[in-house]
A and B are shown apart, each in its own frame.
Chain A
Amino acid sequence: MAKIIGLPKLSPTMEEGTLVEWAKKEGDAIEVDDLLAEVETDKATMEFRSFDKGVLLKILAPAGETLAADTPVAIIGEAGEDISALLEQAKGGAKAPAAEPAKEAAPAKAEPAAAPAAASAAPSAAPAAAASESPAPDGRKMASPLVRRLAREEGVDLAEVGGSGPHGRIVKRDLEAFVAGGGSKQSPAAPVSGLSSGPGYERLPARVEKASQMRKTIARRLVESKQTVPHFYLTIDLDASPMIAAREQMNALLKDEKVSFNDLVIKATAVALRRLPEVNASWMDGEIHFHQVVDVSVAVAVADGLVTPVVRDADRKGVLAISREVKELAEKARTKKLKPEEMMNGTFSVSNLGMYGIEEFGAVINPPEGAILAVGALRDDVGVVNGQVAAVKRMKVTMSCDHRVVDGALGARWLAEFKKLLENPMGMLL
């Protein structure tokens, strides 16, 4: 059976060789270990000896040619064999079957290029994971040496800057974002994602705008929440008429100011949290932290996103006090004057889209809080009042719970308590 003979690799580093001279001519009988040709390699002129026995049927490469290792140079077989198929194969540049399977590449291109393909295939998960690593156990704020120097030079207090590096390390881009944001942004820059717009959207190219730092923070924090916090949702429908009546009574007692439905919702939330403190909790790194204070975060929409200022000790404040505080915080939010500490460390959130006519919705938990309450619109309904069919106002609220902290039954008990408070506002005074 005839076979193609490839140029052998005659030194460990040989990539190509020059056929100096053929020692046999076509038609010669070949014994194993017969000298076929002399080949000049990168190291020396070497003897190319046959591994096969037979007749040299065809010389495919004349003397003088420089060829890559494994290139077909001859066909050896039995006298008179038909080698036309092999000739075709050799012409096609096929590797000699007898040749070594793995050709070693030149040093400059020795490394396989698998990594880039993998890197571009998916947004890299590693940075996000790195950014969410816990801060140093001793609570020390870590910053790169470069950031420490720049902060010194620019008079920035690093305590106000969030870090996106490993273990919360503040790195150059965090400081740049902080300074660019007028020095008021507490949240770290989001790590740059590996995502890029795919092909095929050139017909009507999108207007590409750089995301603001707030946008990036929202993106990062909410992605983190939805990816890491096991959400479940409980909705309850309650009779809003008592709340409306209570608000009217309160506002009648006030001169120039008014409390809102939302203020009452916050108050009821706070009282319910005090009564069922298991809900006022956070999952933190394998531990459950039961908060001793009731600090209610209130979602406030602003021009380019939303912020969640915190009403501290809402359970111990009256509705008016809560109302005043929320107004002040909302104003600060609109004018970008919120301080980082005014947005940090809430224990439970309230988000209200009722004013937009949204009947009900599920909100995304604001980690590390254990739950968020989404408040829908007041709506007209028909109910039975004092044995009579009458027009009533009703409202739906949906609680999103972190299942690691709040189980279904606990969430349900809390919502029942909340409903009871709003349907009997006098109960909040108890």
Chain B
Amino acid sequence: MRELRYREAIREAMIEEMERDANVFLMGEEVGHYQGAYKVSEGLLTRFGEQRVIDTPIAEAGFAGVGIGAAMTGLRPIVEFMTWNFSFVAFDQIISSAAKVAQMSGGRVPCPIVFRGPNGAAKQVASQHSHSVDPFYTNIPGLWIAMPATPRDAKGLLKAAIRENNPVLFLEGETLYNVKGEVLDEDADEVIPFGKARIAREGDGCTIVAWGRPYYTAMEAAEILAKEHGLQCEIVDPRTLRPLDVDAMVDSVKKTNRCVVVHEHWPYGGPGAEIVDQIQRHAFDWLDAPIERVAALDVPMPYASNLETLVLPTVERVVEAVKKVAYL
């Protein structure tokens, strides 16, 4: 095992898959000569050349569409959005083209494409650049959505995504890029399946479901709850939101009898609400308390640092939610 940063893990996954399959290429704004807006694609241009590491103009709808067309006709594009906020101008391509072509062609035209880039709030980049887009895209059948929290998951899931024949939306995090974590050696070629949650921490006191950046918030809250209240939380990171590992969450809740869902997206709907719905239906007779959610506050992201901290899920809010469902 080595320690890698999240961005290095993603880079490694791209390198390995590009070396494995000549049909894989990377396309996006500043991915080549600039070495990546967040240095994820650093060094790729030198390694693979301009044919496979393609800088685009600022035209998300255009290059997202080009990627989809190339995928329909045999290539395996990795399309990078500088951030997922910019995917909105390519929304139609993702929703109406990528997610639909298999169905519209009666299952005959595949679309093996990966859209990837940082999702969610960074630091004080304000309302237009702080979206958690997971609720928008998880609603769409025909797409898979991955949102890894750790470097190891990021690498393994991205490798699976690149090899997959259906469109995958890969949601990274600007504030995760520097996070270090253990990753298997390169020759391990670890490919992590979609739809399999990771039990990041075992416990019988309360299930916490968290993904992306809030995963770390939940882990910290769990340590506090263990120390201050002797309550052992079980942390379930679904890793992919579509498909969603309902079984893992339900199994955990059957053990703990209570659940808190922590997410960065807004409280109205989204995977947070979907998870609550699945659990209440499949584990109704095991619930000892209503399921709580810790979400971003229901406002556009403010710029001021103190307010940004207020809006995002905090350790305190997670601790309070767990205490509430555990009747502490």
Contacts and interface: CB of A to CB of B under 8 A. Distances in A.
B228 A102 contact: no
- Max chain B C-beta neighbours (<10 A), residue from A13, A111, A114: A111
Interface stretch (B20-28, B50-58, B285-293): B285-293
A111 B220 contact: yes
B248 interface: no
Interface stretch (B69-77, B186-194, B315-323): B315-323
B33 to A, nearest CB: 12
B59 interface: no
A286 interface: no
Interface in B243-287: 257, 284-287
Interface in B36-67: 37-39
B176 interface: yes
A367 B213 CA distance: 49
B289 A165 contact: yes
Contacts of A110: 175, 217, 309
Given A12-B124, A12-B125, A111 B229 contact: no
A107 B175 contact: yes
A323 B287 CA distance: 48
Contact of B216 (A108, A114, A124, A127): A108
B184 interface: no
A161 to B, nearest CB: 14
A115 interface: yes
B122 A116 contact: no
A191 B327 CA distance: 7
B229 A194 contact: yes
B265 to A, nearest CB: 16
B327 A113 contact: no
Nearest to B220: A111
Given A42-B39, A43-B38, A111-B316, A13 B177 contact: yes
Contact of A144 (B179, B229, B288): B288
Contact of B287 (A106, A144, A173): A144
Contact of B323 (A107, A124, A145, A165): A124
A127 B39 CA distance: 49
Interface residues of A, number: 39
A102 B289 CA distance: 39
Given A13-B123, A109-B220, A172-B257, A116 B319 contact: yes
Interface string A156-174: 0000000011000001110
Interface stretch (A146-154, A259-267, A303-311): A146-154
A120 interface: yes
A127 B327 CA distance: 7
Interface string B190-228: 000000000000000000000001001101100010011
Given A13-B174, A165-B289, A108 B179 contact: yes
A116 B228 contact: yes
B227 A146 contact: no
Given A102-B305, A172-B257, A165 B327 contact: yes
Given A116-B227, A194-B229, A44 B220 contact: no
A194 B228 CA distance: 9
Nearest to A131: B327
A115 B315 contact: yes
Contacts of B217: 110-111
A145 B287 contact: yes
B288 A146 contact: yes
Contacts of A224: none
B123 to A, nearest CB: 4
Contacts of B34: 44
B178 interface: yes
Interface in B290-307: 305
A106 B125 CA distance: 16
B132 interface: no
Interface string A42-70: 11100000000000000000000000000
B35 interface: yes
Contacts of A145: 284-288
A19 to B, nearest CB: 17
A192 interface: yes
A148 B286 CA distance: 9
Contacts of A148: 285
A362 to B, nearest CB: 33
Contacts of A147: 288
A112 to B, nearest CB: 8
12 contacts: A43-B39, A104-B123, A107-B179, A111-B309, A112-B314, A112-B316, A127-B327, A127-B328, A145-B285, A147-B288, A165-B327, A194-B229
Interface of B: 7, 34-35, 37-39, 122-125, 173-179, 213, 216-217, 219-220, 224, 227-229, 257, 284-289, 305, 309, 314-316, 319-320, 323, 327-328
